[in-house]
């Protein structure tokens, strides 16, 4: 039965009755926006300073809210008293319709004004039904699929009483040593922006007041993906060109498209901790971009400005944070302990506090929480909407679209379902937990469809499927494990695996990482295949030439021998609940793979960072007549290029690009041109191609990359079919943040490029005039 509100503070009731209660997060009608602002102002005018400060505190759930407050626990009792006195504005990790109802009731029915709590949780790639980790999902280049993924996650999370997710993570990542690349969308700011907007639409839709939506968060603001040496929480030192043109574009787009919150990062940026960065939070986000939601710190990151050597104590950390623009404090207790005193002493202007509180209240009104604080705490919806057959079907569809075919030299794939014997080899092949990946929401441990199960489901009893573990893996106790351990593998499983391989028509071998080898706090200097995985692969390949390698990992894996000697290779990442079924859909040809890499795979850790959109060095190649010269930008012991470049991915069919044209050789700033290219399926099966469009600005006031993605289209083509793909170009397509830090296009020569990946491109020259 749906839980309904039994009491809201009397004063708030009076205020609410003064206005209508329909509002949307992307509302275009000014009167709706005005009504929300009037409600916020009216409520703010009757709040005490203590109540205002309370709205800016977020605390972790510390007890089971479905039962009574535990006795003889001073910590819990103190936090419960804070909630009842209006001293908490938000809670995180309170999950479930019953639990959120209990916590909400504690706040609404005991505090003076009955202001509802907002409940947050890390819904990163699914809630109960788990989808591919974001890095894997980004390889789909399928914005509709990514939006559906976020929509299912929002439906399930909201049915469990949640209002708010700390996603999407939009940190551009160029360093695979950093474990959190698994949460992002790779190395490109344009693609990352489009994916972020798709996730925003899935989470918030166009009406945040509906009870099947959740407020989204753009994180981590800013530069977290550029942590030095790939170490989590480390310092970041980047130039303004990189900051404005690579790191910030996804945040700017989300801020201008109605995202509800932004989370600050742990790192400092050029010597200023993010929580204390006035330029980022106020000058850019709130003023230049017009962001109307609120900014929240990451867990304890206000307090951690003391560790940075920036704030001398927690009081100064509170001062630095609130004056710089951080609105809500997640688990530092800085505002709770010191903000009231800072205001009363005159060090912090009350208008700064009011502005922060106004932002928090605005989002609570937009979520409809003042109309019904318990609207999300519906046990009937929770029982009906979690882990449904329909949601699992969506998860399987998104997962298969996320798989990248790296090699198919012998055209071994797709496999026939009528082979006699398949040997499935590798610990990861039978692992039902690792496919869930890190940050798996409320996904149940060991609930994924394993690769072995997926193969068995696909072929049934008509094919003999054998299994051998072969190698052992790293051990990890889960998200809060103190450290990864890599136990010595004595190779005792080799003999059985080799014997299975000898007797099989085809071998399907899984290698890679377990779920918690990547993610937060999982930075590594060695991102090769651990243990004896590569050694076993060589042994297997020596006795059976038909080996399909399935690479499951949360980051690009550096293993040149594998990439060079494997003839058939699928890069899957961690694909979620339906992983095994999705991989089998691709292996047996029920789905033609269409994924493309969104993060380059290095040849060696010494190349890191290696990415496609680099700026040209002073000596990019030997000059004329300088063959054999060493005086140019290169490695003496390895080629510059990555193992596989951004945008790369194969299909079971082939595509041809012809008739690449631009509608005019030049354009003025107020004009538009169209770039067209014909793409033909020249193979024998239907397939999808991701047609990619890049530009190069040859001479600019600030150096630009040798190529920059500016458009893409995923198109389905039947055998022999041709479609004309069109990209519309205006000045904004060619613009960037120039040397004067303004966004503009500069007249000059450009190259337009189209192709199947960032390396295989056709080029046309173009002129932009004044």
Please list the active-site residues: 298
Residues 550-586 as b/e (b if ≥16 CB within 10 A, e otherwise) read: bbbbbbbbbbeebbebbbbbbbbbbbbbbbbbbbbbb
Report d(CA 306, CA 295) in Å as an integer: 20
In sequence order, what are the beta bridge partners of 126? 130
Written in H, E and C, the secondary structure of 258-308 is: CCCEEEECCCEECCEEHHHCHHHHHHHHHHHCCCCCEEECCCCCCHHHCCC
- What are phi and psi for residue 95, nearest 5 degrees? -130, 140
Query: Token pair of 28, please?
Result: 């275009």
Q: Give the HSE-up count for residue 462: Cα atoms under 13 Å, Cβ half-sphere.
A: 6
In sequence order, what are the beta bridge partners of 680? 656, 722
Burial of 407 (0-12, 13-18, 19+ CB in 10 A): buried
The closest of 399, 405, 416 to 654, measured between CA atoms, is: 405
Alpha helices in 115-210 (DSSP H): 134-138, 143-159, 189-204
- Which residue do the tokens 């500016």 mark? 710
Neighbours of 351 (CB within 10 A): 8
Report d(CA 360, CA 296) in Å as an integer: 10
Element of type H or E holding 711: strand 708-717
CB 204 within 8 A of CB 212: no
Report d(CA 538, CA 541) in Å as an integer: 5
Query: Token pair of 707, please?
Result: 């190529």
CB 131 within 8 A of CB 182: no
The closest of 329, 261, 324, 268 to 295, measured between CA atoms, is: 261
Query: Token pair of 398, please?
Result: 């998104």
CB 730 within 8 A of CB 664: no
Query: Token pair of 189, please?
Result: 């700011």
């Amino acid at each position: 039965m749906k839980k309904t509100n039994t009491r809201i503070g009397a004063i708030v009731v009076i205020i609410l009755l003064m206005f209508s209660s329909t509002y949307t997060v992307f509302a275009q009608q000014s009167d709706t926006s005005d009504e929300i602002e009037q409600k916020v102002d009216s409520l703010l005018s009757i709040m005490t300073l203590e109540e205002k400060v309370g709205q800016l505190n977020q605390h972790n759930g510390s007890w089971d809210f479905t039962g009574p407050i535990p006795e003889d626990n001073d910590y819990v009792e103190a936090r419960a008293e804070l909630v009842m006195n209006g001293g908490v504005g938000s809670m995180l990790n309170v999950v479930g319709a019953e639990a959120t109802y209990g916590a909400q009731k504690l706040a609404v029915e005991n505090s003076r004004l009955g202001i509802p709590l907002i409940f947050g949780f890390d819904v990163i790639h699914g809630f109960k039904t788990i989808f591919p980790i974001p890095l894997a999902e980004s390889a789909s280049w399928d914005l509709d699929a990514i939006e559906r993924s976020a929509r299912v996650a929002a439906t399930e999370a909201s049915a469990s009483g949640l209002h708010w997710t700390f996603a999407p993570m939009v940190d551009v990542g160029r360093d695979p040593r950093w474990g959190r690349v698994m949460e992002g969308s790779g190395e490109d700011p344009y693609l990352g922006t489009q994916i972020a907007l798709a996730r925003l639409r899935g989470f918030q839709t166009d009406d945040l007041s509906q009870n099947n939506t959740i407020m989204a968060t753009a994180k981590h603001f800013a530069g977290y993906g550029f942590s030095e040496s790939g170490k989590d929480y480390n310092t970041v030192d980047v130039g303004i060109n990189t900051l404005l043109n690579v790191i910030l574009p996804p945040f700017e787009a989300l801020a201008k498209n109605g995202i509800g919150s932004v989370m600050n990062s742990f790192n400092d940026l050029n010597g200023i901790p993010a929580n204390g960065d006035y330029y980022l939070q106020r000058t850019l986000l709130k003023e230049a971009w017009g962001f109307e939601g609120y900014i929240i710190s990451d867990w304890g990151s206000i307090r951690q400005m003391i560790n940075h050597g920036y704030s001398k104590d927690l009081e100064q950390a509170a001062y630095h944070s609130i004056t710089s623009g951080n609105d809500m404090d997640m688990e530092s207790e800085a505002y709770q302990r010191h903000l009231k005193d800072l205001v009363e002493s005159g060090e912090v202007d009350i208008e700064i506090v009011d502005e922060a509180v106004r932002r928090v209240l605005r989002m609570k009104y937009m979520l409809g929480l003042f109309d019904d604080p318990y609207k999300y705490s519906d046990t009937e919806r929770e029982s009906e909407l979690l882990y449904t057959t329909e949601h699992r079907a969506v998860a399987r569809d998104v997962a298969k679209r996320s798989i990248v075919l790296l090699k198919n030299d012998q055209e071994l794939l797709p496999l026939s379902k009528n082979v006699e014997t398949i040997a499935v080899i590798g610990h990861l092949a039978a692992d039902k937990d690792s496919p869930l990946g890190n940050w798996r929401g409320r996904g149940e441990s060991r609930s994924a469809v394993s690769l072995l199960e997926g193969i068995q489901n696909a072929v049934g009893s008509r094919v003999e499927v054998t299994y051998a573990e072969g190698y052992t893996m790293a051990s990890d106790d889960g998200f809060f494990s103190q450290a990864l351990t890599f136990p010595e593998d004595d190779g005792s499983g080799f003999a059985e695996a080799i014997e299975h391989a000898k007797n099989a028509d085809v071998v399907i071998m899984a290698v890679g990482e377990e779920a918690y080898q990547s993610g937060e706090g999982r930075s590594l200097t060695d991102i090769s295949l651990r243990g004896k995985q590569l050694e076993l692969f060589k042994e297997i390949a020596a006795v059976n030439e038909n080996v399909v390698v399935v690479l499951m990992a949360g980051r690009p894996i550096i293993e040149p021998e594998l990439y060079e000697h494997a003839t058939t290779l699928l890069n899957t990442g961690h694909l979620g609940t339906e992983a095994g079924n999705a991989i089998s859909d691709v292996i047996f040809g029920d789905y033609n793979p269409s994924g493309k890499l969104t993060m380059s795979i290095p040849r060696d850790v010494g190349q890191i960072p290696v990415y496609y959109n680099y700026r040209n060095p002073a000596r990019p190649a030997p000059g004329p007549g300088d063959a054999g010269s060493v005086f140019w930008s290169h490695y003496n012991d390895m080629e510059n290029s990555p193992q596989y470049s951004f945008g790369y991915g194969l299909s079971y069919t082939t595509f041809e690009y012809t008739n690449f044209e631009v509608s005019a050789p030049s354009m003025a700033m107020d004009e538009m041109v169209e770039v067209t290219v014909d793409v033909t399926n020249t193979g024998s099966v239907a397939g999808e191609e991701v047609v990619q469009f890049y530009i190069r600005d040859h001479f600019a006031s600030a150096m630009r990359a040798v190529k920059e993605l500016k458009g893409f289209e995923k198109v389905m083509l039947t055998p022999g079919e041709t479609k004309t793909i069109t990209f519309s170009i205006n000045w904004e397509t060619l613009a960037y943040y120039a040397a004067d830090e303004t966004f503009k296009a500069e007249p000059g020569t450009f190259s337009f490029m189209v192709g199947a990946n960032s390396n295989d491109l056709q080029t046309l020259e173009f002129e932009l005039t004044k």
